[in-house]
Amino acid sequence: MLKEAWTLAVEALSWMEKERISERLALARTARQLEISDVDALRLAHGLVCETVRCRNMIDRFINEVLKPKALSDFSFGVQSFLRLYVYQTRVAKNWDKADLEEAKNVARLARSILGWRTLQPVEPYLGLLLTESPKTLFRSVGDEERVGLSTYHPTWFVRYCFRLFGRSEALAFLEASAKTPPTYIRLNTIKACEDEILKRLEEEKVKVEKVEGLRHAYKVLSTKHPLTRTKSFHEGLFYIQDKASCYAAEVADPKPGMMLLDVCAAPGAKTTYLAQLMQNCGTIYSIDYSRRRMNTWKSEVARMGVKIAEPVIADACNSLPIAVEADMVVLDPPCTSTGAFAKIPSAKWRLTARSAEKMAEIQWQMLENCAEKLKPGGTLVYSTCSITVEENEMLIERFLKWHPEFQLAEITPKIGLPGLRGLTKCQRLYPHMHECNGFFIAKLVKSYAH
């Protein structure tokens, strides 16, 4: 099992490096390729990959320091991946304290059996140094922002951005929380059964939960005997694993039974299935997404949750939407930089640059424009992202309101976050260090009748 897990991890990290894809995609592809289906191996590999990627800047800096005058990039993807995993497992996971020599030897042995001793030979002499060198040297000649970036595992440009946006002490709290895994939340599916019944079932399956204050069907998972996706109640569609912030966005929309609703960028189905639940499975939802692969997941999720009112539409919302309807409500959760979800998708932070938010905002703007034209007068448009940048959120909404005087911001209830920035106090923001969930932004806009 250990060998399978490490083989998966080495290979997945190599794919991520080569093709700049996410952890989840790399692991899924690797598991298929190597035909590994052992759940424990998959879970261990997932943990290794996510945690190694989370601390990537610190790990790489440390390895390059030890390898001097050579560098990580001088070696093959497989060797690079192994060295990163080795430093994570033997040093970072131990908080850089006393190294376990036996474990290090076992890890090296594993690597030889996976990559072949010849491949590993050039870096063998460095393994001892990687085990014993102090990471303190890394902090000697670096400026404040870079030091914070290394110790909280974030790119320097992002640290600088957060300092500017939140001020230093608030930014530090946010960055530290973004480097830790947030709690897991589930939403109980009242389409399938009443809440008390589902809670009883969860208790029988040894899943301990507590209600999220202020939300209707969201619960925080305190402990579980088996992985949630392997419980019977998950397979029966009694709950959906969904971040608190994402549940909040659907509750803010508050759709009513019988409505005609567009869910734009709908895959993999968290929003569609919750909106349908709030509509009591009565009305129509057109779920629009451009990715066929993700829409296949959407189909199975919609079926698992017992949703009867959702129609899939494969289309790119950057172009005019291919359905001739006047919707009562449009819910748009566009692609974003995911700066609020680094804890969940650590690879996102290394793919971005200081310009990414502006580039993303252009895509979001086109989508927002195309959504607005499908809304009937008196209708509601809910816009949300799991990003904390102002370019993708407040600045975009300001620009939209200037171009579209027929839209006004509406009050959001319930209020479980903080008011938006730049004076947009009717919007809501959630933060990992305050709300124990993804960083999130929500705006609710209403289209007036006369214009």
Alpha-carbon span 82 to 105, nearest angstrom: 13
- On whether the CB atoms of residues 15 and 52 are closer than 8 A, the answer is no
Q: How many residues does the chain have?
A: 451
Question: Any bridge partners for residue 429, and if so which?
Answer: 418, 441
Q: The tokens of 187 are what?
A: 């939403």
Q: Which helix (H) or strand (E) holds 444?
A: strand 440-447
Alpha-carbon span 56 to 78, nearest angstrom: 16
- On whether the CB atoms of residues 427 and 441 are closer than 8 A, the answer is yes
Q: Distance between alpha carbon 155 and the CA centroid of its chain, in Å? A: 17
Alpha-carbon span 226 to 231, nearest angstrom: 7
Strands 375-385 and 327-332: parallel
Q: The tokens of 151 are what?
A: 């110790």
- CA distance between the termini of the chain: 65
- On whether the CB atoms of residues 392 and 364 are closer than 8 A, the answer is yes
Alpha-carbon span 343 to 184, nearest angstrom: 12
- On whether the CB atoms of residues 269 and 297 are closer than 8 A, the answer is yes
Alpha-carbon span 405 to 19, nearest angstrom: 43
- On whether the CB atoms of residues 241 and 183 are closer than 8 A, the answer is no
Q: Is 386 a catalytic residue?
A: yes
162, 265, 371, 386: the active-site residue:
386
Residues with catalytic roles? 386
